[in-house]
Amino acid sequence: MPPAPVRWCMALVRWFPVVFITAVVVWSYYAYVIYMCFVSGVVDTVAEQVILLLLYHPFFLFFGWSYWQAIYTEPGKTPKQFYLSEQDVARFESSENEEQQRQILAKLVRDRNLPVQCRTATGAYRYCEKCKCIKPDRAHHCSMCGTCILKMDHHCPWVNNCVSFTNYKFFVIFLGYALLYCLYVTLTVLKYFIRFWTQGGFHNDLGRFHILFLFFASVMFSISLISLFGYHVFLTLHNRSTLESFRAPIFRTGPDKNGFSLGKRANFQEIFGDDRKKWFLPVFTSLGDGLSFPTRVDANVASSYNTMSETNPATASPSFGDGVTYPTRTEDIDSDTLLGARQRWAEEGGEEETSPVGTSKVHLINER
């Protein structure tokens, strides 16, 4: 661990992206509300000023509110019951082979009745060597936060926070309101931007700078936000995290990238909740506890039971298989092992690989 002064400097540097975004937003408020609508005189009538300001402030309010929630909502951390005791850690680390380690973890899961379904490629329960805990489903270790985070999506530098179960809704609607805010500014400033190029209309360089930079900045942010927001809408509707889009979660029956997908409506409600009035408000409405999640298998079983109750057994189609073994999918197989030096998927640091959306970081590390 680095010395305290280094840690303080690193923590300070991590706030730079947030300070930058905040400064741009504060400046945009001054340029749009104070300068364009009042000082510059380019807005033709009082009625036009009132309309612009009445429409502007809701976008600004919800954008700022959701951004605040994404930044300051504590990411969900792994509960104590998932951590191994000192005796269990000593017994686990002194094990002679991987099979003994697998048995120790399996016994702890049974004894503590932990709601764990996801496994490694070898069939063992996922274990974090840094936190000394059994990882809950969809949880991953974040090197920036220094702990295992529930349903971790990624650590976002623009909010200086881990996007996870507790604030994923806030992050998604922050992207949505940021996009709406930028589009609104772009469309309403376009008229005065065209007037500048065709008729002049500005008596000093300061007014020219504010209008031109406001237009170009809102256009550039809109373009980048469209792809990022669209990507997270896709993840929401398919019930995947950014990490799971790179590597499928592994269940007892094998890896399945759509293992947590319950259908687009149910996937949406799992994050945004059942109350439609609160869907697009920056308040927590996600379903569940962040530890256990319904799976596609659960949904199919429930559907099968409902269908069986309405079906005549005499005319029902026969079932196939032995009810014990099932076909498995072979995509994105995890190569995790409890012992050995294979390449692991992790979030503990190491070589960074930029995600397709340009902001999320996915980390690959060779542990030995």
Give the bridge partners for 345, in sequence order: 364
Higher-pLDDT residue of 70 and 331 is 70
Measured CA to CA, the distance from residue 232 to residue 227 in angstroms comes to: 9
SS3 287: coil
Residues catalogued as catalytic: 156
The first and second tokens of residue 134, run together, are 């059994």
Res. 337: pLDDT tops 50: no
Domain locations along the chain: 1-77+156-305, 80-135
The answer to whether 65 touches 85, Cβ cutoff 8 Å, is: no
Please give the Cα distance from 89 to 108 (Å, whole number): 11
Res. 209 pLDDT band, cuts 50 70 90: confident
Q: Give dist(CA 137, CA 250) in Å, integer.
A: 10
Which residues have CB under 8 Å from 170's CB, separation 6+? 66, 69, 70, 73, 282, 284
| Least confident piece of the model among 19-23, 67-71, 134-138, 353-357 | 353-357
Instruction: Select from 145, 163, 138 the least CA-distant residue to 240.
Output: 138
- Can you say whether the dihedral through the CA atoms of 172, 175, 181, 183 is positive or negative? negative
Q: Going by DSSP bridges, is the β-strand pair 343-345/127-128 parallel, antiparallel, or unpaired?
A: unpaired
pLDDT band of 36, cuts 50, 70, 90 = confident
Contact 172, 159 (CB under 8 A): no
In the numeric block, the tokens 């996922």 are attached to: 126
Rounded Cα gap, residues 275 and 285, in angstroms: 8
Pairing of the two strands 250-251 and 161-163: unpaired
Look at residue 318 in the predicted model and tell me its pLDDT: 39
Note the pLDDT tens digit of each residue in 344-357: 333 443 333 334 34
In 85-135, alpha helices (H): 86-93, 98-112
Distance of CA 48 to the CA centre of its chain: 39
Is this model's pTM higher than 0.85 or not? Answer: no
Torsion sign across C-alpha atoms 264, 270, 272, 275: positive
How do residues 69-112 score in pLDDT, each as one tens digit?
Answer: 999 999 999 999 999 999 999 999 999 899 999 999 999 999 99
Q: How far apart are CA 313 and CA 112, in angstroms?
A: 39
Half-sphere exposure of 292 (CA within 13 A, CB side): 8
Specify the range with the lowest mean pLDDT, choosing from 4-13, 96-105, 228-237, 332-341. 332-341
- Return left, alpha or beta for 72; rule: phi > 0 is left, psi -120 to 50 is alpha, else beta: alpha
What is the rounded distance in angstroms from the CA atom of residue 111 to the CA atom of residue 121? 23
